Structures are given as structure tokens and as C-alpha cells.
Structure 1
Amino acid sequence: MNMKRILLLSFFSLSATLGFTQRDKQPGVSPVYRATAERINDLVHTKLDAKFDYQKQQLNGKTWITLKPHFYPTDSLRLDAKGMDIHEVAVVKGVKNNSLKYDYDGLFLNVHLDKTYRNTEPYTIYISYTAKPNEFKAKGSAAITDAKGLYFINPLGEDKEKPTQIWTQGETEATSVWIPTIDKPNQKTTDEFYLTVPAKYVSLSNGKLVSQKTNSDGTRTDYWKMDQPHSPYLFFIGIGDYAVIKDSYKGKEVSYYVEKEYAPVARRIFGNTPEMIALFSKLTGVDYPWVKYSQIVGRDYVSGAMENTTATLHGEGAQQDARELSERNRWEDVIAHELFHQWFGDYVTTESWSNITLNESFATLGSQLWNEFHYGKDAGNEERYNSAKGYLGSHSENKNLVRFYYNDKEDVFDAVSYNKGGAILQMLRKFVGDSAFFKSLNLYLNTYKYKNAEAQQLRLAFEDVTGKDLNWFFNQWYYGSGNPKLNITYGYDAASKQATVIVEQQQEGDKIFTLPASVDVWTGNTPTRYNVWVKAKVDTFYFPASSKPSFVNFDADKILLADKTENKSLDDYAFQYNHAGNYVDRREAIDAATKKQAEVGGVQIMLAAVKDNYAPLRAYAISNLDMSLAQVKNAAEAPLAEAAKDANRRVKAAAIGKLGQYKFAKYAPLFKAAVNDSSYSVAGAALEALNKVDTTAAFDAAKQLVKGKVKGRLETATKNIMSARDKGAALKLLSDYEAMPFGQKKFQALSGVFELISATPDTEIFKKGVDAILGLETALPENIRGQVMPQIYTALREVQKEKTENGLTEQVNYLNSKLPKDNKSGF
């Protein structure tokens, strides 16, 4: 599942020979060791006959569950069955059902079997039941905000703006809200689902659609069959009025279930899927293992997306119109992430939630691989860099990657399991080399296919292929916590003709990391590569150099997951930008120059970056230009005017936004033309810029634009411009924001509220806006509140600075009364 990263915002000592014991638990974390679930009975096959009561929002089900004892003989069976009405429990004997005694407490169904069964004796249990998901209350997580398993969306059609849908969400253990099962990841079963649905709707489930039968009561029964075993949390049912667009991969169906409005652009959203399947099949050496691959979009989804076997569910954010897609497909990383799960998570599944890294870290890697191999190394490195930065800013230093201690299983879905785990896999890939890395993944997948694994088994696969002992790596990164904090200094000794690099580990505590690292020593424009090992609190490395090097670059591949302090001059960063070449090299140089735009060298780096070959870096550099500095403003005008013609919409929007800060009437024609751009971002930036030079023209344009569809930056711009002239519109913007349920849309709308409070001189509106923003705190899941709120406080402090400069004392004082006195930024 992907954060799941959508709501996380990109979040979230050991024995040398026994890396299994996690001793560095966080304060307040349960001391209970989270063992892999004991297997007394094993699922073999699950058959379901389901009918849906839209009025009551219930599922009336009959299920036949075939099991066998795992090893020891047993005369009992415990099933997870949450919040159900159990009508009958029986053992199937030929064509007869023999009733069984059972105990049920609303969570567990304990069945007294008719005899003692041995592990050579499979048996089938029949259960008639009613699932009542709305009556079952369960805690969600930062990644998965609800856990009632089965969701009826607008079941009676009362909301004319929303379709009627049913979808399920199983991870972590919510499948057992709608079907009795052994709801643990180390169980695997084949299944067949008979779904009786309104005939006007389509259905989707795991496996293949075998048949459809039209019934006389206006319903249809769809028979879905899954012949390959998978875990219960990956069971899926989806029902609704969808358009189904079909592609294929090597004769297998690849299909996209979207609301009919989005049928014309479905291939622009999901159409790279067959190519993704081909890439992941090639890299892993395991051809796509399932019978089909479908993707469906669900309204009001409780997460970002979920990798149900052969049937991935996406949140409604996946559905973008043509204007949004003209900028980029913002959902493509999620699509790749969920697809890679079909190998890592579905084909081979974590044996316990403690080992969720085997699912989520790999899926994080998967989207990085897609970007790297499809769009180029800059794109892959950009996603890798942003992901690692998300971990480094998440304050998760005390959490192990493999986590045997936690308060709730939902807690493991965080920036450690996703972001950090993905970065660790990239470091392992660099250390062993691509050939060995992907061959090791192939061995791991083939060894444990249709089974479960833990991180030690991943280690053994890598050791088998490479011949290397990797306990040091896994003990440090998988069974340990934190990351190195490195202070790096460079020098040159003319007498000994040696360049030096001193690396000091400054992380808290006595833990020292072992880090293989690359160092490039540049003579003129030519680098010489050296490979070193950082192993001590302070390491000094010496490199031969007949004269002072033009540049020395530690961690030349920019692969280490570390907080690094680089003691480089602005000249060093200029050389790094112009010669080192890696996306991260250039990004670091831009960041360094951003802080020193008062210096000529800083401006030169920024202006060079405005013309970078990689469009996202061009947009990033433009967005970081400090237009309050005269030398920047004077030097940047011509490059910005050129960038405003850029074919890349992100670059064009950034450039137009900066041009607006000149407040030059000569750019009004450019802004007026661009408000009708096909990109919402460009149109929004142009409308904001036009408002700076001609408020009447901007207001008139906004009134026309809101008659059509406005989204994203254009929606924010139109609302803010109209609100500035209409207090009623401003108050409605705030009331609409407050009424929004917690989720992705609310986060997206947050920038508009910030824009409003920044611009308004009206103290009443300002106070209501501040209250609306701070009200987000109570809606945030507890385990990310401490990460997100410091960032909001920091942004409000910036607003406060602007208000102080404008002499709006009452607004300044109000913020002072609302903000915590010990405000610290989350990043």
C-alpha cells in the first residue's frame, strides 16, 4: 500500500550474531514482543457467496472455508470474525452440513470441530453470517485512516455528486470484518467469490471473472476465481458504475476501472501499466505471476492505494482530467508502487507486520526504479532523494526497520518502513552491484513464491548470490535504528601531495555506522574514483594529488542515508553543479546557492539552474529565486521571461509566478493569455501574477473562470481573488475548508487558506483562517501529528513576519496567542 504515503505527506546495540532482538525500543512503546502468528490451522481454500444490502449497509454471506492442521492434530478452530451476526456453523460432509458448536465474542469465532484432525486431513467449515461493518469500531493508522473492512459509498444514491460504490480494504486485519477467516499475513489461500450485485453495476475481485449470471430480481451474480494462493488481507471486492478500459500484457488482461467521466483519459492515467509490468518482470526475472491485473478507483478511500492481488484499489486522487494530466500524471508513482507489490507483498508476503519492510520498502523502491529506467537517472534520483529526505525529517531515529515491538500493528506503516527502507535497498543495490542485486531478488522471489518471508531470508538470498556475509548490513540497517550524522571536511597537504577527507560521525549515543562510500577526486575536469569504508567515530582518508584538486566529492554517488554537513565553499558547489552531474549533486548546489543569493556566486548557480536540462530542477531553482534581492531580480528577468515559454508546465508556472513579482505592466498580455492555459498550474500562476498588475482584469478573469472547472492552483487563485473583494466569498472558502473531511483534499486546500490569511487585511477573516488551519491538529492521526504540526507552525511564523512588516499588529498579536512558544520546525 502506498502511504498510504498520500496521507503521510511523505513522512513518516545489537548482538553481532543475533540481530533479532530489538533493544532500542522507543519510550512508551509496548514491551510485548510481536511474534509471528502461530499457525495451528492453515487456510487452503475460501469460497464466498455474498449478497449486499445497500439499505442496511451489510453483507449477507455464506462461506465455505477449507483448512488443515498445520502440524499438530487439533479439534478446534479459531477464526477472526469481527462484529458479525453468526447464523450457522457446520462442517461439510459430502453434500450435508453437520452443525457444530461454537463460541463467539464479536471478534473471534471459536469452532469445536467434530473430531480431531491431523495435518493430512483437510476439512471444510460452512458459515452463514451477516457482516455489519458500520457497527464495528476499529482504530486506523496514519496510513490507513479507518479499519472497518467493507465500505458502502453513497449506498442509497442520496448524494447526487457522488457515485454509489462498494469497496473493501483488508490491510492490516480488516478483511475479517466482512468474511470469517484467519486474518494473518502468514496465511495463504486460493478463493472463489460469487458476488450478487445490481445488474447495472460492474464488479471486480481477485483472479479471473469466470462467469456472469443474470437474475430475475434485477441483480447479476459474478463468479470470480483465484487459483493462486494469497493472504486474506489482499482479498478484494469492488462494485460500482464504472467504465472498464482494457489493455493487455502478454495476453493477460490489464484493465482500468474508472468513473465514466474519466474514461477518455483512463489510458493517460494508467496506460503505462503494461510497460511497468514488462520492466518489473525483466528486472526481477520473474514474469508477472498473476492471471490478470486490474486497477479500480474508489471514492472516499481511507488511504492512497492498496495492492490487492490482481486488483489494486486507488483513491479518487488517481482520477485527473486532461488539464491536470497536461502538467504530469501525479499518480504515476503510486501506480508503480502498487504494481511492484504484486511481486513484493503479494507473491512473497511478509510473515508478520514486524517485517512489513519486505512489502513496503520494496514498493517504495519499485516506483524509483520505474522513474529511473523509464524517465532517466535524474527522475529516479529525484524520487529517491525526496523519499530519503522524508525519512530524515520524520523524527524516527529510534525505530528499527524490522520492528518486533510496537503498540499497534498499524504503527509500522510509517516513514521508516517506506522511505528509510527504500533508501536502504538502494544502498544495498549500490554495494553489491545491479547484476547481483536483481539476481538476489530473483532468488528470493523464486524461493518463497506463494509463501511468506522475513528479512533474514532476504539476507540469505543476497548472501547466496554474492558470497558475502551481510550480517553487518542487516544488523545495522534492518535490526538497528537511526542513521549517521556526518560532518565532512576537505583539505590538501602540499608537502605530502595528498588530498584529505575527514568524516566525523556526530549522531547521538555510542552507535557507530559502517559505511562503504565513494570519493571522487577531481584533477581539472577529470575525476578519479576511490572507494573507502567509514567505520570509526572519526575517519581520515588520504588520496594522492600532485596539486590541489579542483574538487573532492565524498559520497560521490549520493547514496548514503545520512544527515550530512558538507564544509564546501560556494566555489565548490559551483564546480559540483557544473561537473558532478548527479541530480543530487545539482540539487545540493542549488540549495547551497539559495542561501547565498546575496553573493555573486550564488546568483550564478541559480541562473545556471534555471536552464538545467532536467525540468523539475529548473522549476525548483526558479521557485527558490529570492526576488527581494535587487541583484537577483535584475539578473533573473530575462531568464524568467524565457522560462515562461518553457514546454514543461511546472517550469512555465514557476516562471510566470516569479515574473508577477516584478509587477511590470509589460507582462500583463502574457499573464492574460496564460490564464487560459491548458494547465491549471500555469493558469493559476498567471491569474495570481495578473492580479499584481491589474486587479480589475484579474477579478473579471476569475469571475469567468469559475463558471468552468477550476482545480489546483487555479482554484486557489480564483477563490483568493474573489474573496479579497467579497468578504462573503472569503468566509465561504473558510467554511468549505472546515467542512471538508480529513484527507488528501483537505491538505491540498490548506495552501488556499494560507494564501487567504496572508493576503487579507480583514482581521475577522484572518482569525477565522488561523483557527481553521490550527483546527487540523485534532483531525491528524496521533502518530503523525508531531511531524506535521511543526511545519504548519513554521509556515504561520512566516505569515506573522509579513504581517509585522505590514503593520497589522492585531493579526500579529492573534498569532502570538495561538502559536506554541517553543515552536520548532519539523524539517
Structure 2
Amino acid sequence: MKFSNLFFAALLCVQQFLSAQNPTYQPEREKIYNLVHTKLNVDFNFAAKTMNGEAWITAKPHFYSSKSITLDAKAMLIHEVKMNQKPLPFSYDDNLKLTIQLPKTYQKDEEFTLYIKYTAQPEKVYQKGSSAITDAKGLYFINPDGLNKNKPKQIWTQGETEASSCWFPTIDAPNQKTTQEIYITVPNEYVTLSNGILVNQTKKGNLRTDYWKMDQKHAPYLFFMGIGEFEIIKDAYKNISVDYYVEKEYAPYAKAIFGLTPEMIGFFESKLGVKYPWAKYSQMVVRDYVSGAMENTTAVVHGDQAYQKPGQLIDENIHENTIAHELFHHWFGNLVTSESWSNLTLNESFANYSEYLWREYKYGKTDAEMHLYEQVSAYKDGQNIDKKLVRFDYADKEDMFDEISYNKGGAILHMLRKYVGDEAFFLGLQTYLTEYQYQATEVHQLRLIFEKITGKDLNWFFNQWYYGAAHPSLEISYDYNTLRKTVTVNVLQLQADTFQFPLAIDIFEGNARKRHQVFVSGKDASFTFPYQTQPNLIQVNADGVLLCDITENKVLNDYIFQLRKADNFEHRREALLQVAKRQEDKNAFDAIVNALDDDAYKIRILALQQIDLINKFAKKDAIQKIMKMANNDPKTLVQAEAIHTLGKLTDPELKPIFLKALESQSYSVLGKALVSMYYVDKPAAIAKSKQLPDEVRQILATPLTRIFIEENDESELPFVAKNVLSGMFLTGDDATKNLFQKAFKQITESNNTEAIQNVVDDMVVKGKQYQQFSFDKVVINLMRTMIQEQQRLNKSNSEKNVTIIKAAMAKLL
């Protein structure tokens, strides 16, 4: 599972976490019975948003003999339960647990098959979602009445964590494994997708039944159905079908979005030493999805944020990491599954780290370091920094889907890899996957694999990183002995618990660098190294592997040297931000200019954002360099930032650069050029803004909003209104939030009924989408503000606008 809109979700659910009930020990689900096989036959009532189902559940006692079985079955109508055509007595506890009395006592490993006829009612499911998975009703009908002409009819499912039992009876626990087959009956115009292979299709009138079969065992939460009008774009890896299910509009771009998938499969196979274990690999993009993506075995589902046009893809495929993430789950999570949500790290931390592995292979070490830095920063900025990676005391299983299980867990795997070495690390993964294939595991089993391979005792590593919390906070100081020509590096741990860890220390003498590997085992450690000439810089955690915070005293010259010579992206980034504070110093300004040539494109972007062109030093030369970047940098995102930086100068002589950029295929370049042009030639920028196709205008909503709001262009308020709420709450950029707050104020005070209608329509959609985070209450308060303002202004359309707003409020109240 890869989640999206985390910033927004975390913002809105802080009080939910704070008010969580007292945590208790959360064990692995007891195995009273083992699932063996699940067979389903389903069809749908679109109008009622229900599913008619028949289930044949084959199970057997795990160890102890038993005469009854309890299945998870949420909010269903249970019509009959039979075995061998004979009715069985059953009870249905709170519409959650279906307990069936068996005709005899069954012994260990003695199989039986139950038949259950039922109706799934997802709209009557009341279990809550989380910040990662925003809903938990299992089965979703999208635009089932077809009233929204801008949205297709679709049906799809979401099983994680325990929502598959909202659409079929099962033992809904991650430590269960079952084979499956599903017969799905739909109108002929729809395609279907499920796990495994499409065996056959049978037409009967205007209906068709698709038969999907999965011969390998996997957990119930990984079951999937997707139904709708999709184009199927065919691809392949060796003899494995790799298909992309997308709406017709995006069919021409499907391979540009997903086309690296076959290469990813080959890379992960090679890296892990384990072949892709399943019969096919399909990916479907759906509307109104409740998360980012989900790794349903052989049938991955993505939210529609995966959809991108060529003008976006030329900048970067923002969904590429997610594609790698969900694919890697097919080894870690699907082939071998965490036995409990407490051990979620065995699924999500590996999938998170796969993003690093892919980027390292495809784009190089620096690119991977940039990604790791952002992942670690998100963890450190999160709300859960003091929580353990393996948690048996969570208040709710949904709380496990956080920056600890994902980001921190990925960083811990990176540390483990560097400690044991690549050969041992990847052999360990291969051994783990091979030994426990089609099984459920806990973290200790992973540890024992690595201990067996390396001969090392790794309890210390797993105890502090998997079963402990937080991370080291280090204070670094240096003692020089000029007579002996030695330097002592002092490492003081400031946090409460003492960590032990390997640490890389680089010592620079002139342009020569020597790396020292040390091991810190105490609260206060010191390491002495010889030198020939006085070191220019000592860089602690030089490889960026250790997850930690570091405090040390460095002067400007240290940071200038670090910006130029540090090996790791994070250290160059740190130095750049420090140097940027001192640009009144010519050496500092020159260092920022030199950073515009850094091989890390995000350093180049940051240098562009930080450079002070009001500075008196070599301003002309710096501008010339930035002009070249605007035209020729190999990364369009850097070109865009260069144009933005030049735009701040509001210099008419730069107009030719902006004119050229207005013809760019890159939407990021085009967006920045529009705003920059606006400040040197308003008519040209406005004319270009209005000439853009609607699909491009939608993508460039933020820069266009900036122009339209500053221009006070009321005719464009309806367009702006469609994007206000997303801009105000779904972005992490304060400048963007402020812009859209200003836009909201302008719409609220306007007489433009179309704009009012558009913004409240968006409010209703977003309010419902994030209802469990009480965002509907935020939206209602905004609507009340709008009503008060309309009544105060009392313009010609005010009464009509108030009626529109009140009607929207009624949909949420």
C-alpha cells in the first residue's frame, strides 16, 4: 500500500490520534481454522450499491478439533448457509461475525466446504479508515447512477486492512492464505480485473460472466475486483502478461506512465534472486480511490493521481516510485506476509526501500540519496517519531500505516544493508523469501535469517531499531593535537536511550578525502585519526546511512568546502542552506553560484531558490548562468525554477527567455513562464493563459490562479473555484495555501454565481471524501462564512448564492 495526501490527512486527524483509546497488546490473530480455498460468484445492483454473492469457503482446523467456525462478514444480509446441500444453523453477531455450527467435529487438517448466499451492503459498513487508507467499506460504487457526466461508472474493492470481509465472508487476517476463484457478472460494456488469470468469459444477453482463477495462496486482504470501461494496454515481461487498465483518454499515455514496469520486474528478480512468483501483473487506475495505490496480488489498483499527460511526464513521472513500491510488495507482503499488523514493517518498509533500490539502479546513487533524504525528512517531520517500528500496543491497526512503518523502516533496511554488506543483505532477502514463501512471518524470523548467513548476533540491531523507538541525536566536537598531528572526533549521544551503530567519518586534507569506519557503542565515544596537513573538513555520517540528528559547530568556510566536496546529497543540501544565509560574503555568494552546477538537480533547484540576485557580487555573471539554465538545463524542473528566479527580477530584457519557455512541452516550465511573463508583459501572459486548452489549464491551476487573482479577473473565478479547496488544504506549500486562501476570499466576496456553485460543489466532494477526519465540519464552517459574507454584501445574486451554499451544506449535514 502506498498512501497519498499524507500531509492533509495527518493535519486533519491529529485529534483523532490524541483521543485514541488506551492501547493494549495486539496479538497475531489466533489460527483456529486455516483457509484453503475461496470461490465466489457475484453480480451487482448499481442503484442500491449492493452486491449479490455466493461463497464457497474451504477450510480446515489448524490444530484443535472443532464443531463451529466463525467468519468475518461485515454488514451483510446472510440468506443461507449450507454444507453438501444441507442447511446449517448460524448466528450473526452485530453484523460482523458469522458463526456457523458444523454437522460434526472436524479434526486437524480435515477439510470441509461451506456454501454461503449473501448480499454485501458496503454503504452500511461503519468501520473507520486511517490517514493512509481513508475509508474501509471494502466495496465501492463510483457514480453508479451515471448522473455525473464527467465521471465514469466503476466498481472496485479495497481489502487492506480488514475490509475484504465487507464483500465476502472470510477469516480476514493477514496470517491467513487461500487460493481463489471468482465469477463476476457485469454488463457487456464493462471490463473486469481480478487476481490471477482470466480463464474464460461467458455472454448471456447484455450480461457477461468473467471467470478469474488464482492457484497460488495469498492473504484475503489482497483479493481484488475492478469493473468499468477501461482500455487495456498490453505489455509483457518475458512470458508474463503486464497490462495497464486506464480510461480511454489516457490510453495513449499508459506506457509512458507504467511502461517501466517490465524493467522493474527484471531488476527486482535479479536483485532478489527470486523470480516474479505470480502468473501475471496488471495495474488499474480508478476514480475516487481511498489511498495512493494497493498491491492486490497480480491486480494492483492506483488512484487517478497516476494519470499524467506528456507535459507532466517530461518533468518527472510522479507515480514511478509508487509503481515500484506496489510491485515489490509482490515479494514482500504478497509472497511472504507479515503475520500481524504489528509486524507491518515486513510489508511496508521493504516496499518503501524498493523505491531507493529502483532509483539507485535506474538513475544513480545521487538520485537515490535525494529520495532517501526526503523519506527520512518526512519521518522526522511526522507526528509519530517516538513510536516503535514493531508495535504490539497500537490503539488501532490503522495507526500502523504511518511514517514509521514506511519511511523509517525503509531507512533501517538501508542501514542493515550497509552494515552486513550487499552480498549478505541480498542473500538474506533471497533466503527469507524462499524459506517462507506463501507463509506469514514476524520480524524475528527475518533476524534469524541474517544471523545464520552472516554469523553475527544482530539482536542489538533489531532491539534498538525494530523494537525500540526514536533515533540517535548526536553532538559532535573535535580536538586537534597539532604536535602529534591527530584529530579526535567526539560523539556524544543526547537522547535518553543509548544506541550503538557503525559510523562513517570523512577527513578532507586539501582535495583528498579519507573515509574512516568506526563503531559507536557508548553514550560518549571518541576516535582519534592522524593527518598530514590540517583538515579542511571533517564530515560525520559521511555516507548518510545512519538515521540520526547531528549538532556540531561549523563556520562559513566549513560549509563552503562541504558544499563543494561532500559526497552525500544531504550534506551538500545542509551546507547550501547555511551558506545561503551569508551571501553578503563574496565567497558565500560564489559558492551558491557554483552550486548551480551540482550533479544533483535538487541542489540546483535549491540554489536557484536561495540565490540573492540583489547581491552586489558578480550579479551579471550569475544571471547569465541562470539564463543558460533556463534554456538548456537537462532537467525541465530546473529550467522552470531558473525561469521563476529570473522572473523575480521583473526585467523586460528577459522577455525573450520567457517567450521561448511559453512554447515548452513541459508544463512546469510553461507555468513558471506564464507568471514571469505576467510581470513584464501582462497582455501577452493573459492572452496565452486564455488560449490554453482546458486540460492544460487544469494542470496549471496554481500559476493561472496567481495571474487571475492578481489581475482580479472575475470571468476566471469559476475556473479558480474548482481548485480552491485542493490548493488551500491538500498542499504542503505555504505560498500555495496563501494564494488559494486569497482566491477563496475573492470568490466569497464575488457576485459570480458560477464560481460560487463550483467552489461549493468541490467542497461537498472533499467534505465527503475526508469525512472521517471531520473535514466536512471544516467545510461547513467555510460555507457559513460564505453565507455571512454574501448576506453582508447583499449584491444582486446574493440571495441566489446563499441558496446554492445552503443546498450544498444540506448534503453534508
TM-score by length of 2: 0.89
Aligned mates of 1:418, 1:686 — CA distance in 2: 37
Alignment of 1:697-712 (within 5 A): 697-705=684-692, 709-712=696-699
Per the alignment, residue 141 of structure 1 pairs with 130
Matched, 1:77 2:69: yes
**Aligned-residue offset at 1:536:** 2.5
Per the alignment, residue 560 of structure 1 pairs with 546
**Aligned-residue offset at 1:119:** 1.3
Matched, 1:422 2:410: yes
Matched, 1:385 2:369: no
Alignment of 1:738-749 (within 5 A): 746-747=730-731
Q: Structure 1 regions of 5+ residues with no counterpart?
A: 13-24, 790-827
Alignment of 1:785-800 (within 5 A): none
Counterpart of 2:274 in 1: which secondary structure? coil
**Aligned-residue offset at 1:765:** 6.2
Contact 1:664–1:693 at 8 Å: present in 2 too?
Answer: yes
Match 1:234 to one of 222, 240, 246: 222
CA displacement, residues 255-301 of structure 1 (integer Å, 9 cap, x when unaligned): 11111111111111000001100111111111100011110001000
CA displacement, residues 122-178 of structure 1 (integer Å, 9 cap, x when unaligned): 000100000010122221100000001001111122111111111100000000000
Match 2:91 to one of 102, 119, 130: 102
Aligned mates of 1:184, 1:469 — CA distance in 2: 32
Aligned mates of 1:245, 1:751 — CA distance in 2: 39
Matched, 1:248 2:240: no
Matched, 1:157 2:143: no
**Aligned-residue offset at 1:363:** 0.4
Alignment of 1:228-627 (within 5 A): 228-507=216-495, 510-627=496-613
The residue identity in structure 1 corresponding to 2:519 is W
CA displacement, residues 745-790 of structure 1 (integer Å, 9 cap, x when unaligned): x438986552355799979769x99x9999999999799999xx9x
CA displacement, residues 292-347 of structure 1 (integer Å, 9 cap, x when unaligned): 11100010000000000011100001111111111111100000011111100000
**Aligned-residue offset at 1:697:** 2.1
Aligned mates of 2:427, 2:313 — CA distance in 1: 36
The residue identity in structure 2 corresponding to 1:356 is L
Counterpart of 2:297 in 1: which secondary structure? coil
Call closer, same or farther: CA 1:756–1:411 in 2, change over 3 Å.
closer
Per the alignment, residue 754 of structure 1 pairs with 738
Aligned mates of 2:92, 2:655 — CA distance in 1: 75
The residue identity in structure 1 corresponding to 2:164 is T
Aligned mates of 2:290, 2:226 — CA distance in 1: 14
Let me know the Cα RMSD of the aligned residues.
Answer: 3.0
Contact 1:499–1:548 at 8 Å: present in 2 too?
Answer: no
Matched, 1:680 2:664: no
Matched, 1:661 2:648: yes
Contact 1:719–1:729 at 8 Å: present in 2 too?
Answer: no
Call closer, same or farther: CA 1:81–1:632 in 2, change over 3 Å.
farther
Per the alignment, residue 59 of structure 1 pairs with 51
Per the alignment, residue 15 of structure 1 pairs with none
Aligned mates of 1:190, 1:625 — CA distance in 2: 59
**Aligned-residue offset at 1:180:** 0.6
Match 2:78 to one of 77, 83, 86: 86
Alignment of 1:27-38 (within 5 A): 30-38=22-30
Aligned mates of 1:708, 1:178 — CA distance in 2: 36
Call closer, same or farther: CA 1:26–1:57 in 2, change over 3 Å.
closer
Per the alignment, residue 115 of structure 1 pairs with 104
Aligned mates of 2:603, 2:32 — CA distance in 1: 55
**Aligned-residue offset at 1:501:** 1.2
CA displacement, residues 162-210 of structure 1 (integer Å, 9 cap, x when unaligned): 1111110000000000001000000000000001111111110001111
Matched, 1:190 2:179: yes
Contact 1:10–1:390 at 8 Å: present in 2 too?
Answer: no
Matched, 1:43 2:35: yes
Aligned mates of 2:711, 2:305 — CA distance in 1: 31
The residue identity in structure 1 corresponding to 2:530 is P
CA displacement, residues 615-666 of structure 1 (integer Å, 9 cap, x when unaligned): 3332232123234545485553111111101232101100000101111101
Aligned mates of 1:463, 1:642 — CA distance in 2: 54
Contact 2:7–2:731 at 8 Å: present in 1 too?
Answer: no
Aligned mates of 2:713, 2:476 — CA distance in 1: 54
Aligned mates of 2:318, 2:614 — CA distance in 1: 32
Per the alignment, residue 7 of structure 1 pairs with 6
Tell me: higher relative CO, structure 1 or 2? Use CA pairs within 8 A at least 6 residues apart. 1
Aligned mates of 1:708, 1:64 — CA distance in 2: 47
Counterpart of 2:532 in 1: which secondary structure? coil
Aligned mates of 1:301, 1:482 — CA distance in 2: 32
Alignment of 1:197-236 (within 5 A): 197-216=186-205, 218-236=206-224
Call closer, same or farther: CA 1:319–1:775 in 2, change over 3 Å.
closer
Count of aligned positions: 763
Aligned mates of 2:136, 2:613 — CA distance in 1: 48
Aligned mates of 2:313, 2:82 — CA distance in 1: 53
Contact 1:348–1:449 at 8 Å: present in 2 too?
Answer: yes
Call closer, same or farther: CA 1:662–1:273 in 2, change over 3 Å.
same
Percent identity between matched residues is 46
Call closer, same or farther: CA 1:225–1:419 in 2, change over 3 Å.
same
CA displacement, residues 8-48 of structure 1 (integer Å, 9 cap, x when unaligned): 47989xxxxxxxxxxxx999662410010001011000000
The residue identity in structure 2 corresponding to 1:451 is Q
